[in-house]
Amino acid sequence: MGVHEEELPEEVRESVEEAWPLFVDFLKKKEARVTQARKIILTQVFSRHDHFCADDLAAELSSGMNHVSRGTVYRTLALMEEAGLVRVIRDTDVHAHYEHTFNHPNHEHMICDTCGQFIEFSDDRITALVEEACERHHFAERTHRIVVFGTCEQCMQKK
């Protein structure tokens, strides 16, 4: 497990030292292996990134002494998401999904992880709070999107 990490700034090392054991636990519960590549990736994730994309991360790790291949980066990021250490802000689903908005008041969506069903919901209070947040940040809203992921009632009952 000889990962080169001597030049890490203090705060990064601290984050890694807290996050890594969590990932190790997760992997052991899953009977997956604690590997060098996984530690390198976790370290890089907690290093210089606020928001980053998978491909940039892969590029950063494609050379240098802590080399990890693209495929492994993608595979590990998926694991880290499952472990709750990383969050997808903007996901690339296979398809872009649309709906027509004509005669269709603003509403948001819940998507069932199991059956893929879209459930529509709306709440004016949420809309108002989002607007309020935009004002606070002097941000001119064009549109917003709220998606909740989880399990729908029917799929819940089947379990």
Q: Which of residues 24-63 bind DNA (CB under 7 A)?
A: 27, 31-38, 53-55
Measured CA to CA, the distance from residue 38 to residue 26 in angstroms comes to 12
72 binds, among its own copies, DNA, none (CB under 5 to 8 A by kind): DNA
Q: Are 42 and 20 contacting, i.e. CB atoms less than 8 angstroms apart? A: yes
Q: Which of 1, 65, 89, 140 binds DNA (CB under 7 A)?
A: 1
Q: Are 69 and 54 contacting, i.e. CB atoms less than 8 angstroms apart? A: no
Q: Does 95 sit near DNA (CB under 7 A)? A: yes
Measured CA to CA, the distance from residue 57 to residue 35 in angstroms comes to 18
* Nearest distance in Å: CB 10, DNA: 26
For residue 133 the two structure tokens come to: 């947040």
Positions in the binding site for DNA (CB under 7 A): 1, 27, 31-38, 53-55, 67-72, 74-76, 78, 92, 94-96
